[in-house]
Structure 1
Amino acid sequence: MKAISSGLQAHLDSGATTLAWCWRITRSDGVVHGFTDHDRVLAFLGTDFEPDSGFIASEIRTGSDLAVDAQDAEGVLSSDRITETDILDGRWDNAVVEVWRVNWRNVSQRVLMRQGNIGQVRRGRSIFVAEMRSLAHVLNQTVGRVYQASCDADLGDSRCKINLESSAYRGTGAVAAFSGGRAFTASGLGSFASELFSLGTIQWTSGANNGRRADAASHSVSGGVVSVALLEEPVRGIEAGDTFLIRAGCDKALGTCRTKFSNVVNFRGFPTIPGHDAILRYATKDGGHSGGVL
């Protein structure tokens, strides 16, 4: 139930309203943007809500079954405030969205209709469409520990205790040759064992991707040639000479924790927990009840 001020309620009861929609968006980098469907700038909460900003929202959809309600926002990529570069850099990902209903003649008369986060962003040639998810999407997130065979800690966090800033798990290199797609050969990493940086992270320190982060899918060394493949194709082109900082990765398996990091004492998984096959197991004449995998 919405708490409506007496002033706004009186305005609604008057029968002749002057209402507008306002969207206040706080991006992941802390930058706040304001948009409105009104024809002039509205200001409240320390934010200027600008018209004609290439931002159009669909109707609000709300259900009573705790499903994630959604609303789409369509924007023009040529807008001065919404650029393709910012979208590609992920600055709009998971941004906090507040949807306000405002009396544009007196902006103190307003009500917060919805608060959520930006979810999936779809891009076209000249426009983007951003999905605005309600707060119900938080209910889909895992809270607390998970009983699973693999480790549920993040490599390098306080539970894992591996120091990723150690020279043993961090290296600097440069692109020797880009083979297209997601793969390239690298220089400067010859002293590291093959697979050390598989599932690790890359931070670009020069080139078109300078400042961006990427995930490494694989790292291999063959005949003295170091090859790295990214998990996703880079947003901007990679060229020979681009430098980067790369850190080790982990597949969360017990064997990897033992052989790659010598860190079994901090392993946060349950490798002996019964799997789904235990539910499907049936009695046999020859026994077969050792607890092993079918």
Structure 2
Amino acid sequence: MAESTRVWFSQPLETVAIWWRLERRDGVTLGFTSHDRDLAFDGLVHRTAPGMVPSAIRRTADFEADSAEVAGALSHDAIREADLAAGRFDGGSIAMGLVDWETLERVTLYAGTIGTVGHEGAGFSAELRSVKDLLAREIVPRTAPTCRAEFCGQGCTLSANAFTHLASLAEVSADGASVRASGRPSAAQLAFGTLRWIDGPEAGITRRIEAADGTWLVLDRTSADGIPPGTMIELREGCDHTLETCAARFDNAVNFQGEPFLPGNDLLTRYPALQP
């Protein structure tokens, strides 16, 4: 059924409920409604979750980004505190709107992405970013001595498959911030790359490798407790985005997306050098 064009809340009493849909970056899609029973539409069952409500939705007619926030209690089985802490909902997409729970007529009031998700005690709140935020992107790239292109992304032209490796977990550090892997390239080659958990309690989650410390890979977020050795992981090599690495390691200097020899702002403050 196409979205309704009716005027909502034009009558004293209406059979209207709120719906919202969350699509995590790992592909899991969850639907919820403020109605007292589940509602199925758009190929998804929206589970009743009266404790979760959008606290505010603001729409604008200009280019200013719309704003919204959703808050509630951690009472639904699909919203687990461990998943929030692990970042499974960070960066996912969200849509919310109104639905007539008798006819299933519906309208979308807000669509965007999930920013930071926080929780205090038994509650949680999520920062939502409107799709209008895309209009705020810088179209003209800024000059920089390092490469602006994402490694193996647009502009880089290198194949991601050539730098992606299956491996198994050898060990997790006591604080959960670092891991060691077996069946992989050197840790130095993996710095600034990514680690994706294939199975185990964090299956589907991708972590950024911030640095290599000897044979250890330092992750951007601590791992869950109890991940056993032998857990399958996928490792993507990284790049420090310098011209030297691009040329010597990847032989890809022709596609370098930076200006390593462009003088910086400090050029005007330098003292002149006397020539002999």
Which structure's CA Rg is the greater one? 1
Is the structural similarity TM-score above 0.5?
yes
Q: How far does residue 200 in structure 1 lie from its aligned partner after superposition? A: 1.7
2:16: which partner in 1? 19
Residue-by-residue CA offset, 1:190-248 (whole Å, 9 max, x unaligned) = x73x6222112223355544443322222244xxxx23222322244555554544332
What letter corresponds to residue 202 of structure 1 in structure 2? L
1:147: which partner in 2? 143
Out of 132-141 and 40-49, give the one that drifted further.
40-49
1:264 to 244, 253, 261: 253
Cα distance change, pair 237–64 in 1 and its aligned pair in 2 (3 A): farther
TM-score, normalising length: structure 2: 0.77
1:249 to 222, 233, 238: 238
Cα distance change, pair 114–183 in 1 and its aligned pair in 2 (3 A): closer
TM-score, normalising length: structure 1: 0.73
2:173: which partner in 1? 178
1:74: which partner in 2? 71
2:125: which partner in 1? 129
Output the CA distance in 1 between the equivalents of 2:129 and 2:266: 36
SS in 1 for 2:221: coil
Asked whether the 8 Å contact 2:36–2:50 carries over to 1, the reply is no
Q: How far does residue 79 in structure 1 lie from its aligned partner after superposition? A: 0.9
Are 2:206 and 1:217 equivalent residues in the alignment?
no
> What is the aligned length?
273
Asked whether the 8 Å contact 2:26–2:205 carries over to 1, the reply is no
Q: How far does residue 173 in structure 1 lie from its aligned partner after superposition? A: 5.3
SS in 2 for 1:199: coil
1:35: which partner in 2? 32
SS in 2 for 1:119: strand
Q: How far does residue 130 in structure 1 lie from its aligned partner after superposition? A: 1.6
What letter corresponds to residue 159 of structure 1 in structure 2? G
Are 2:268 and 1:275 equivalent residues in the alignment?
no
Cα distance change, pair 42–141 in 1 and its aligned pair in 2 (3 A): same
Out of 19-28 and 147-156, give the one that drifted further.
19-28
What letter corresponds to residue 198 of structure 1 in structure 2? A
Q: How far does residue 252 in structure 1 lie from its aligned partner after superposition? A: 0.6
Unpaired segments ≥5 residues, structure 1: none
Root-mean-square deviation (CA), in Å? 3.7
1:52 to 46, 49, 69: 49
What letter corresponds to residue 77 of structure 1 in structure 2? L
Residue-by-residue CA offset, 1:163-193 (whole Å, 9 max, x unaligned) = 45448x757354246243423455555x73x
Question: Identical aligned pairs, as a percentage?
Answer: 30
2:80 to 73, 78, 83: 83
What letter corresponds to residue 117 of structure 1 in structure 2? T
1:202: which partner in 2? 195
Output the CA distance in 1 between the equivalents of 2:76 and 2:92: 18
